[in-house]
């Protein structure tokens, strides 16, 4: 097959417009930058609420500690996956990275919920208090998602919806982990449902807007 | 970067990676070399996505423009070919989608088929292709602000408000840029001042 004429003039004009660029830092470093913001919020909450209540609750119900650890691992892995997916040529399999943390988070929460049905230790949240959890998770997820989107707009996400799902998951998981600092209830079914609903809303909202927000360089 | 920096034993992929790394630092010669060396890779990636021969040049052009915009995302410690092929593959899918949309709009316009006498005239088609290519190249050579205005308002047919929302520019600036771009294109094609 005969190849068409090379677009030399375009290459020449792009060469004429060339300026040095600052390379995108590696995904792990950008993940660390976002986690620093999460750590600052966590420090503020810890200073306000103290650690005593949280540690006592963990000692009484170790599955809550496990669920919190799962949420932290999910947040770290999902943020890392989002930054990796934002670089052309990286494997789409990065989207599976948060799965083990997610399984630990959901599994430990479910186990805690079952155990509290059989032998409750901590007080169970009312529907109104469970609603507060929903507001907390969404309120913290919004700025954390916006920060991730801002950090990712300089990248070039070729799979914007998948990246946006990772952003939603990272933000919701981080917000759930932050909620553990001041969460005063056992993992009852209503509360767990509300947490799941909050995570679902955050992930779905990111997925719905991700394509438009994450691709300034492809438009 | 000089040719001496690249030994003869370097593979073509490593050579392209080294050229792109140098281009990120502002080396124009290396940039033009890596872009020229990338054309066959872009065409191969487009063909893998099922792009037809007559659309290949569009995909090449769009990919080169995207590479220019996102060249800061290339990590020299990783494969240049994988980075480029991912961008080309995405641009190929965009071209196929856009072609599909255009095809759906145009297939039912029987009046247009009846009135365009030279529809099957290969010479006229080639001339149109050449003119389209010249126009695309002229648009690509515009300064970034003017090119953006033409792409958003002229080619993608966005409203001023949509273009302003997508580019983050004021509508006034977009209008000025479009006006300047049209003036520059007229001067280039017709010699008007």
pLDDT (tens digit, 9 = 90+) per residue, A64-111? 888 889 999 999 999 999 999 999 999 999 999 999 999 998 888 888
**How close, in Å, is residue B110 to chain A by CA atoms?**
31
B87 and A88: CB-CB below 8 Å? yes
In a domain? residue B60: yes
Q: For the segment B62-113, what is each residue's pLDDT rounded down to a tens digit?
A: 999 999 999 999 999 999 999 999 999 999 998 888 777 655 555 545 454 4
Predicted local confidence at residue B119, as pLDDT: 47
Q: What is the ipTM of this complex?
A: 0.78
All residues of chain B having their beta carbon less than 8 Å from the beta carbon of residue A4 are 56-57
In a domain? residue B122: no
The size of chain A, in residues, is: 219
Closest CA to A11 of B30, B6, B79, B1: B30
Residues 6+ apart with CB under 8 A from A160: A210, A211, A214, A215
Q: Please give the interface size between A and B, counted as residue pairs whose CB atoms are below 8 Å apart.
A: 105
Counting the structural domains of chain B, the total is 2
Q: Tell me which residue range forms the domain holding B99.
A: 3-115
Closest CA to A134 of A217, A196, A65, A84: A196
Is the C-alpha dihedral spanning A104, A105, A110, A113 positive or negative? positive
Considering only the beta carbons, identify the residue of A11, A156, A217 that sits closest to B64.
A11
In a domain? residue B129: no
A8 and B36: CB-CB below 8 Å? yes
Same domain as B83, residue B7 = yes
In a domain? residue B128: no
**How close, in Å, is residue A84 to chain B by CA atoms?**
11
Same domain as B99, residue B185 = no
Same domain as B54, residue B19 = yes
Residues in chain A whose Cβ is within 8 Å of chain B: 1, 3-4, 6-24, 26, 86-89, 154-156, 158, 216-219
Same domain as B147, residue B104 = no
CATH number, domain with residue B160? 1.10.10.10
Same domain as B108, residue B16 = yes
Give the three-state DSSP class for A126: coil
């Amino acid at each position: 097959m005969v190849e068409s004429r090379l677009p030399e003039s375009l290459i020449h004009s792009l060469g004429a417009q060339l300026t040095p660029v600052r390379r995108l830092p590696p995904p792990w470093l950008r993940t660390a930058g976002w986690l620093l913001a999460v750590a600052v919020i966590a420090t503020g909450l810890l200073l306000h609420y103290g650690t005593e209540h949280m540690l006592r609750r963990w000692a009484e119900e170790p599955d809550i500690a496990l669920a919190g650890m799962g949420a932290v691992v999910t947040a770290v892995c999902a943020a890392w996956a989002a930054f990796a997916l934002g670089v052309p040529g990286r494997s789409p399999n990065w989207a599976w990275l948060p799965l083990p943390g997610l399984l630990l988070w959901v599994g430990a929460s479910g186990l805690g919920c079952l155990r509290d049905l059989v032998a409750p230790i901590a007080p169970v949240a009312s529907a109104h208090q469970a609603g507060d959890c929903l507001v907390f998770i969404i309120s913290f997820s919004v700025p954390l998602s916006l920060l991730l989107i801002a950090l990712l707009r300089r990248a070039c996400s070729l799979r914007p919806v998948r990246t946006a799902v990772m952003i939603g998951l990272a933000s919701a998981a981080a917000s759930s982990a932050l909620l553990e600092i001041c969460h005063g209830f056992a993992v009852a079914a209503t509360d767990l449902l509300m947490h799941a609903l909050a995570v679902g809303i955050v992930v779905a909202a990111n997925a719905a807007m991700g394509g438009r927000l994450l691709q300034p360089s492809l438009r | 970067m000089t040719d001496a920096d690249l030994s003869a034993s370097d593979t073509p992929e490593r050579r392209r990676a080294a050229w792109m790394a140098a281009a990120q630092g502002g080396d124009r010669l290396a940039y033009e070399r890596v872009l020229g060396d990338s054309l066959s890779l872009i065409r191969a990636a487009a063909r893998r996505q099922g792009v037809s021969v007559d659309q290949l040049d569009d995909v090449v052009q769009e990919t080169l423009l995207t590479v220019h915009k996102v060249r800061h995302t290339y990590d020299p410690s990783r494969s240049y070919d994988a980075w480029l092929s991912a961008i080309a593959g995405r641009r190929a899918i965009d071209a196929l989608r856009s072609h599909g949309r255009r095809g759906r709009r145009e297939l039912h316009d029987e009046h247009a088929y009846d009135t365009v006498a030279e529809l099957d005239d290969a010479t006229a088609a080639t001339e149109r292709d050449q003119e389209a290519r010249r126009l695309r190249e002229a648009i690509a050579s515009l300064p970034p602000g003017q090119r953006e205005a033409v792409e958003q308002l002229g080619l993608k047919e966005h409203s001023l408000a949509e273009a302003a929302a997508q580019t983050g520019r004021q509508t006034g600036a977009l209008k000025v840029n479009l006006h300047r771009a049209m003036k520059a294109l007229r001067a280039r094609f017709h010699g008007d001042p």
